Amino acid sequence: MMEAKDIVICDLDGNVIDGKLQPSSDLPTHLVLYKAWPQIRAIVHTHSPWATMLAQAGVDLEPLGTTHADTFFGSVPCTRELIQEEIEGAYEEQTGQVIVKTFEERHIAPEQVPAVLVASHGPFAWGHDPKEAVENALILEQCAWMAIIDRLIDPSLSAVQLCLLDRHYQRKHGKNATYGQH
């Protein structure tokens, strides 16, 4: 089990600042995201089973209900597969580049959709701090689980209505948010 003393602190150039262990092999991916999106302050990469199933299938996690809409303002995208040259080269850095490019091409704000599914790999989630990044990873996993079961129940299920998506997202994240304690 990982403990606080096991965390390795690195700067944005990947230099170890504090810690006795080696940084994650995914550090180059994280560095690309931190540099591209300075508003995020923590990243979590998991291989949680339900979100990973969607990543392995290469499909987006569509917003099917309000649980999704409370955190993700639209679909959580799945990236394209990396090409052979990206895999054989600076693989982890290229993973970050593909994530950033996916958000740019689809005009997705990373603070409105704080997660991604990397094709044939798994999910990444982020937030303003480690607690929020972990919460977003947990919510992503729960939404992936519900979406897969929902599709088994009704394969023709459509995404939640845009007005309901907007209402649920804005009541929690909008400038006049009313959800939760302030």
Alpha-carbon gap, residue 57 to 123, rounded angstroms: 12
Alpha-carbon gap, residue 26 to 132, rounded angstroms: 19
Considering 11, 18, 91, 179, which one is annotated as catalytic? 179
Instruction: Kindly calculate the radius of gyration of the chain based on its CA atoms and give it in whole angstroms.
Output: 17
18 noted as active-site residue = no
Alpha helices in 118-176 (DSSP H): 130-153, 162-173
Which residues have a Cβ under 8 Å from the Cβ of 5 and sit 6 or more positions away? Answer: none
Alpha-carbon gap, residue 150 to 8, rounded angstroms: 39
70 noted as active-site residue = yes
Considering 34, 60, 70, 169, which one is annotated as catalytic? 70
Please give the positions annotated as active site: 70, 179
